[in-house]
Structure 1
Amino acid sequence: MSNLSASIVLITGAASGIGAATATALAGAGARKLILVDRDEDRLRDFAFTLPCERQLIVGDVCDESLWAAADLTGLTHAVVNAGIAAGGMIDALSFAEWRRVMSVNLDGAFLTLQAAMRAMRGSKGAIVLTASAAGIKAEPGIAAYGASKAAVIQLARIAAKEGATAGIRVNCVAPGGVATPIWSDAPFFQDLVRSQGSEEAAFAALGSQATPLGRLATPEEIAAQIVFLLSDEAAFTTGACLVSDGGYSL
């Protein structure tokens, strides 16, 4: 993956989960500089300190247009559009405010990040990966806002791939199923599962055994490896693709 050895990569949602795992993998692949974005300043600074490359930190919400207007993305070669939030609720009980909260981060934030990255990457012939979800492919009760936002992210990546092709910018997305990350922590059903199983690790194991044919959840590092592949020259002829990595959940 030699094209990443001098790369400057933007990563949103970088302080934990898939974002942090991807930053760690890219630093290990020789990235020259990582531009790390997250709204949790303390966690972002603590994590960035562990990375063996140049770091630039941007603290704020990805759905804030002024954040991107002020962002210095000079020399950007690659981007990982990863920030997102989870939410649940049946359509007939879901408030419009909750719908907008999810759409604001997961879709508006993805659009603004993608727009800023594509503008900054003109002439770089680089690559972008968006984090979607298997929830954007498979319908389940209670995930209207989250599932719709991630389905839109998949289509957004496809359109961006067509628009970016003339500039040599590849755009793909990954659609993970369940991944053992902090995004589950605020979900009431997962909190109940932690209490019944005795630990978060046991709750993840129980969730994975119920949700996927492979009988487990993915690790953030597994998804990060797929993102790094899509950013690299090994995927040089791949654009507009959605890599589903869900342990068979969507079968």
Structure 2
Amino acid sequence: MPEVASYPGVALITGAASGIGLATVRKLADDGATALVLSDRDEVGLGAIGAEMEARDVPLMLCRQDIADEAAWDGLEMGIKHRWKGLDTVVVNAGISDSGPIAELSFADWRRVMSVNLDGAFLTLRSGMRLLRDSGAAVVVSSASAIKAEPGVGAYGASKAAALQLAKVAAKEGAARGIRVNAVLPGGVQTPIWTQMAFFRDMIAEHGSEQAAFDALAAVATPLGHYARPEEIAGQIAFLLSPAARSMTGTALVVDGGYSL
């Protein structure tokens, strides 16, 4: 069996400015990343995590980009090759959410979700597979919605199911070089995306705090009565990238508090 590449080594993380991506940046930095390539469309958030990493003397490349922009990926590939020759780890994380019954979903909204969650995942993984050194590793952040149907999540669930299959195909294609590709499937996670939803803002008002609202929602949505913190998912991502998971590829690691049971 090939040796595991340097972990975390030179790591690429998309959606790095908030939520799971932000927690993963900090986790990989804690684990001794040689360098971090951070991608996000949020210029302010990206600058903030960039400043935090610079204060920790972690070599950086910050990329404010539309994840579905092929030309931007071509330029980023060239920059990474020039500076570090390649990558050791890749986290395909950037994504957006949307809701609405299929019969009422506009094609524009469908394409908006697919553009980020699937086209963006494909372009990230394509560049990642080109840049990963032998025995490197990638993790695709899918969702429990990829394996459990719920009303109103047609576009999101379909995009995440497709991303999961993409990860499995990449795992098979990369195996000859010892490249491992796995997916993590979170359920409810306590990220800022919830505060964009009117019903959740109503829950905060009803229960008195954001944490109380999360607890109330998780109590009815998951058997364990718990929504994960971003740091928990970052820990699972780090495990899949690490030598501890050297025999795992093409795996769908479900981290959803029992939601999908």
What TM-score do you get using the length of structure 1 for normalisation? 0.96
Deviations 1:42-76 (A, max 9, x none): 11111222222112100011111111011022221
Q: 1:130 and 2:140 equivalent? A: yes
Q: 1:60 aligns with which of 49, 62, 65?
A: 65
Report what 1:111 is aligned to.
Answer: 122
1:185 Cα offset (Å):
2.3
1:141 Cα offset (Å): 0.4
What is the deviation of 1:9?
Answer: 0.2
Letter in 2 for 1:76: L
SS of equivalent residue, structure 1 residue 153? helix
The aligned amino acid for 1:79 is V
Number of residue pairs aligned between Structure 1 and Structure 2: 249
Listed as ranges, the gaps of 5+ residues in structure 2 are none
Q: Distance in 1 between matches of 2:114 and 2:98?
A: 10
Shift, 1:6, TM fit: 6.2
The two structures, once aligned, show a CA RMSD in angstroms of 1.3
Q: Distance in 2 between matches of 1:40 and 1:197?
A: 30
Match of 1:70 in 2: 75
Counterpart residue identity of residue 30, structure 1: G
- Native 8 Å contact 1:5 1:31 kept in 2: yes
Q: Secondary structure at the match of 1:50?
A: helix
Is contact 2:7-2:243 (8 Å) kept? no
Does residue 1:24 correspond to 2:29, yes or no?
Answer: no
Does residue 102 of structure 2 align to residue 91 of structure 1?
yes
The one-character-per-residue Cα deviations of 1:167-217 (angstroms, maximum 9, x if unpaired) are 221000000000000122222322222232233222211111111111010
Alignment gaps of 5+ in structure 1: none
| Overall identity of the aligned pairs, in % | 57
1:226 aligns with: 236
User: Who is 1:12 aligned against?
Assistant: 14
Distance 2:121 2:6 in 1: 23
CA distance in 1, matches of 2:134, 2:193: 33
> What amino acid maps onto 1:32 in structure 2?
T
- Aligned residue in 2 for 1:236: 246
1:152 to 162, 168, 187: 162
Distance of 2:99 and 2:7 partners within structure 1: 40
